Amino acid sequence: MLILDLQAITDLQSQLADWPAAVRALQEIADCDGAIEDAAINLALQAGLEPNTSDRWLEGLAKRYRAQLCTRIATQQPLSDHDLRPLLAASEESGCPELLRLPVALWVRSLGIERFCDPLAEKLQ
């Protein structure tokens, strides 16, 4: 399970203060004791989605937007593991619900952007 400690949540709140939905998602993550996947399920319910399972639901959600995210990410400068803003910007055009963009970005970052996008690159070859 992907967990953020209080210091990481606080750092992200400062970094993403100009992204209201990200700040809201961070509050939900804090309310879930740092558990990103639990927070994502709560946020999905708030966004009107009906998650069918809590096991690996966030991973499935991220994969649903893989093509759009990776295509957009490929046109950007190299991404930093510490700055989520480019990944959040890429998710704006993906169709991912606004409240879920940060949990998806955190999941992608935890996996690694290259590793996340690799399956798509293999299909294009």
Quick: pLDDT tens for 68-100: 888 887 766 555 656 788 888 888 878 899 999
Q: What's CA 50's distance to the chain center, in Å?
A: 18
End-to-end CA, the chain: 32
In angstroms, rounded to a whole number, what is the distance separating the alpha carbons of residues 23 and 14?
A: 9
pLDDT at 124: 52
Quick: pLDDT tens for 1-53: 899 999 999 999 999 999 999 999 999 999 999 999 999 999 999 999 988 77
> 3-state DSSP call for residue 125?
coil
Q: What is the pTM of this model?
A: 0.90
Is pLDDT of 57 > 60? yes
In angstroms, rounded to a whole number, what is the distance separating the alpha carbons of residues 122 and 125?
A: 5
